[in-house]
Amino acid sequence: MAKRTGEPTLPVPVRLERPASPPAPGKPSRRERGVESNTRLTATTGALIFVLLAAEGVTVLRIGPLLGAHVLIGMVLVPPVLLKLGSTGYRFARYYLGSPAYRRKGPPPPLLRLLGPLVVMSTLVLFASGIALLLTGPGNVRNELLFVHKATFVIWFVVLAVHVLGHIVETARVAPLDWYKKTAAEVEGARLRQWAVAASVALGVPLGLLLLGKAHTWLSAHPFPH
């Protein structure tokens, strides 16, 4: 129906939309909490590995009589090391794929970035050659494999010392956060991260016990000086 001339026009109601509320000051976004969660997992796992490596270092001083302990601790180390490689690898991938939150977090210092691939490769070769030595046994082991294990240990020890010194302050600050009730509640997933670290140790213990018999085989052949 056509509108009559002179008929008053009713105003069209305008819907006003409320502006989006800015994030609360000091409160991290979900993505930033994800970065912090990754940092906490990496730091806690790194602290655990540091303690286990210190114990492993004691066995190296007298590798003959302490070979059983060396094998057991070494196998317990395997799952935590893989967990830490996973968490650091995830951060590496997210950073280089352009995740804004990980970009804001920033990369490690240049020297640690340069040594990172060497730490990863020497760690993998060291553990792989050690496990290969156990599975091969002293009667069939090749001298080249034993040399690789010993030479890799020297390289690994040097680069890892720099790696530990470069991260020790941050690790000491971040690692305990998930284990205190107040700070654990700041980033969700603390219980899950605790279980992940505990499960890595729980997986390593039976692995070490399973291969402990291989250490006795080496001891019976006396391949190492006492």
The model's pLDDT over 126-169, given as tens digits with 9 standing for 90+, comes to 999 988 888 887 666 667 888 888 899 999 999 999 999 999 99
Tens digit of each residue's pLDDT (9 = 90 or more) over 62-113:
877 788 888 899 999 999 999 999 999 999 999 999 999 999 988 888 898 8
Angle (CA) 100 103 107, round 5° = 165
Q: Is 203 exposed, middle or buried (0-12, 13-18, 19+ CB in 10 A)?
A: middle
Q: Containing domain of residue 80, as a range?
A: 32-219
CB atoms within 10 A of CB 170: 14
pTM confidence score: 0.81
User: How many C-beta neighbours within 10 Å does residue 52 have?
Assistant: 18
The answer to whether residue 20 is domain-embedded is no
Residue 180 within a domain: yes
Q: Is residue 88 included in any domain, yes or no? A: yes
> If pLDDT is split at 50, 70 and 90, which confidence band does 13 have?
low
Domain assignment of residue 161, yes or no:
yes
Residue at token pair 């004691």: 58
Residues in the chain: 226
**Angle at the Cα of 193 (from 109 to 129), degrees rounded to 5?**
65
Q: Which residue has the tokens 């997933």?
A: 189
- Number of structural domains (the chain) is 1
Judged by DSSP in three states, 29 sits in: coil
CA–CA distances in Å: residue 11 to residues 2, 8, 16, 17, 93: 18, 9, 15, 18, 56
CA pair distance 88, 43, nearest whole angstrom: 10
> Which of 225, 226, 202 is closest to 75 using CA atoms?
202
In a domain, 6, yes or no: no
In a domain, 5, yes or no: no
Considering the domain boundaries, does residue 105 fall inside one?
yes
In a domain, 67, yes or no: yes
